Amino acid sequence: MAAQETVDHKYVYDFSEGNKDLKGLLGGKGANLAEMTNLGLPVPPGFTITTEACQAYLATGQEPDGLAGQIEQHLESLERAMGKRLGDPQDPLLVSVRSGAKFSMPGMMETVLNVGLNDQSVVGLSAQAGGNDRFAWDSYRRLIQMFGKTVCEVPGEEFEHALDDAKSAKSTHNDLDLDADDLRGLVDTYKKIFLKHTGREFPQQPREQLDLAIRAVFESWNAERAVLYRRQERIPADLGTAVNVVTMVFGNLGPDSGTGVAFTRDPGSGAQGIYGDYLANAQGEDVVAGIRNTVPLQELEQLDKASYDELLGIMARLEEHYKDLCDIEFTIERGKLWMLQTRVGKRTAAAAFVIAGQLVDEGLIDLDEALHRVNGAQLAQLMFPRFQLDHEFEPVAKGIGASPGAASGTVVFTSARAVELAAEGKSVILVRRETNPDDLNGMIAAKGILTSRGGKTSHAAVVARGMGKTCVSGADEIDVNVPAKRFTVAGQTVNEGDVVSIDGTTGKVYLGEVPVMPSEVVQYFEGSLDPEHIDNALVRAVHRIMTHADGKRRLAVRTNADTGADAARARRFGAEGIGLCRTEHMFLGDRRELVERLILARAPGEREAALEALLPLQRADFEEIFREMDGLPVTVRLIDPPLHEFLPPLEQLAVNVAVAQERGEDVAKEEALLAAVRRMHEENPMLGLRGVRLGLVIPGLFAMQVRAIAEAAVSCARAGGVAKPEIMVPLVGAVQELETVRAEAEKIISEVVGDSGVEVLIGTMIEVPRAALTAGQIAEAAEFFSFGTNDLTQMAWGFSRDDVEGAFFWRYLELGIFGISPFESIDRDGVGRLIRIAAEEGRAARPGLKLGVCGEHGGDPDSVHFFHEVGLDYVSCSPFRVPVARLEAGRAVVETDGSDSR
Residues that bind ligand PEP (CB under 6 A): 580, 582, 640, 767, 788-791, 854-855
Answer for which of 182, 711, 791, 860 binds Mg ion (CB under 5 A) is 791
Q: 585 with 562: CB under 8 angstroms?
A: yes
Catalytic hit among 74, 459, 543, 857: 459
CA 70 from centre of chain: 42
Are 381 and 349 contacting, i.e. CB atoms less than 8 angstroms apart? yes
Q: Does 623 bind Mg ion (CB under 5 A)?
A: no
Q: Which of Mg ion, ligand PEP, none has residue 508 at its interface (CB below 5 to 8 Å by kind)?
A: none
> What DSSP string describes 501-534?
EEETTTTEEEES---EE--HHHHHHTTSS-TTTS
Determine the interface stretch with Mg ion among 253-261, 486-494, 513-521, 759-767 (rule: CB under 5 A).
759-767
The smaller minimum CB distance to ligand PEP, of residues 182 and 640, is found at 640
* Cβ(506)–Cβ(400) below 8 Å: no
Q: Does 788 sit near Mg ion (CB under 5 A)?
A: yes
Of residues 470 and 705, the one with the C-beta less far from Mg ion: 705
Cα distance between residue 238 and residue 63, in whole Å: 17
Q: What are phi and psi of 680, to 5 degrees?
A: -90, -5
Choose from ligand PEP, Mg ion, none: what does 116 bind? Cβ within 5-8 Å by kind. Answer: none
Q: Name the binder of 855 from Mg ion, ligand PEP, none, CB < 5-8 A by kind.
A: ligand PEP
For residue 687, the minimal CB distance to ligand PEP (Å) is: 12
Number of residues that bind Mg ion (CB under 5 A): 3
Closest separation in Å from C-beta 787 to ligand PEP: 7
Burial 96-123 (b: 16+ CB within 10 A, else e): bbbbbbbebbeebbbbbbbbbbbeebbb
Other residues' Cβ atoms within 10 Å of the Cβ of residue 208: 11
Q: Mark the segment that binds Mg ion (CB under 5 A) among 264-272, 553-561, 662-670, 790-798.
A: 790-798
CB of 582 to ligand PEP, least distance (A): 6
Contact flag: residue 767 with Mg ion (CB under 5 A): yes
Q: Which residues pair with 344 in a beta bridge?
A: 326
Please give the sequence-ordered ranges of beta strands (E in DSSP) within 76-222, or none if there are none.
Answer: 85-86, 92-93, 95-101, 111-115
CA-to-CA distance for 848 and 846, rounded, in angstroms? 6
Q: Which of 92, 132, 84 minimizes the C-alpha distance to 114?
A: 92
Beta-ladder partners of 787: 766, 853
Q: What is the SS3 assignment for 445?
A: helix
Whole-number minimum distance, CB 458 to Mg ion, in Å? Answer: 14
The residue (of 503 and 860) whose beta carbon lies closer to Mg ion is 860
User: Residue 822 Cβ, how far from ligand PEP at the closest point, in Å?
Assistant: 12
Q: How far apart are CA 194 and CA 201, in angstroms?
A: 7
Q: Considering CB distances under 5 to 8 angstroms, the limit depending on partner class, which of ligand PEP, Mg ion, none binds residue 580?
A: ligand PEP
Select 282 or 766, whichever has its Cβ closest to Mg ion: 766
Distances in whole angstroms, Cα of residue 495 to Cα of each of 48, 380, 482, 487: 62, 33, 10, 7
Pick the closer one to ligand PEP by CB: 284 or 691: 691
Q: How far is the CB of 579 from ligand PEP (least distance, A)?
A: 9
Q: Is 130 left (phi over 0), alpha (psi -120 to 50) or beta?
A: left
Shortest CB 833 distance to ligand PEP, Å: 17
Closest Cα partner for 629 from 537, 726, 703?
Answer: 726
Report if residue 645 touches Mg ion, rule: CB under 5 A.
Answer: no
Q: Which C-beta is closer to ligand PEP: that of 763 or that of 788?
A: 788
- Based on the residue annotation, tell me whether 854 is a catalytic residue of this protein: yes
553 vs 637, beta carbon nearer ligand PEP? 637
Q: Out of 326, 581, 854, 877, pick the active-site residue.
A: 854
Q: In what order do the strands lie in the sheet with 46-49?
A: 12-14, 46-49, 241-247, 95-101, 111-115
Q: Which does 430 bind (CB under 5 to 8 A by kind): ligand PEP, Mg ion, none?
A: none
Q: Does residue 733 belong to the site contacting Mg ion (CB under 5 A)?
A: no
Nearest of 377, 371, 359 to residue 549 by alpha carbon: 371
Shortest distance, CB of residue 836 to ligand PEP, whole angstroms?
A: 17
504 binds, among Mg ion, ligand PEP, none (CB under 5 to 8 A by kind): none
> Binding partner of residue 789 among ligand PEP, Mg ion, none, CB under 5 to 8 Å per kind?
ligand PEP
Active-site annotation holds for 197: no
Closer of 44 and 788 to Mg ion (Cβ) = 788
Residue among 426 and 770 whose Cβ is closer to Mg ion: 770
Q: Least distance to Mg ion from the beta carbon of 790, Å?
A: 5
Considering all CA atoms of the chain, what is the largest pairwise distance in Å, rounded to the nearest integer?
109
User: What DSSP string describes 377-429?
Assistant: HHHHHHTS-EE-TTS----SEE-EEEE-SEEEEEEE-SHHHHHHHHHTT--EE
DSSP 760-796: -EEEEEE-SHHHHHTHHHHHTT-SEEEE-HHHHHHHH
Near Mg ion by CB under 5 A, which window of 398-406, 544-552, 782-790, 823-831?
A: 782-790
CB of 877 to ligand PEP, least distance (A): 10
Q: Which of 43, 15, 211, 257 is nearest to 115 (CA)?
A: 211
Return the SS3 of 733.
coil
| Binding-site partner at residue 854 among Mg ion, ligand PEP, none, CB < 5 to 8 Å by type | ligand PEP
The secondary element (H helix, E strand) that includes residue 164 is helix 156-169
Using Cβ positions, the residue closest to Mg ion within the complex turns out to be: 791
Report the residue number, 439 or 791, with the smaller CB distance to Mg ion.
791
- The residue ranges that bind Mg ion (CB under 5 A) are 767, 788, 791
Question: Catalytic amino acids?
Answer: 459, 854
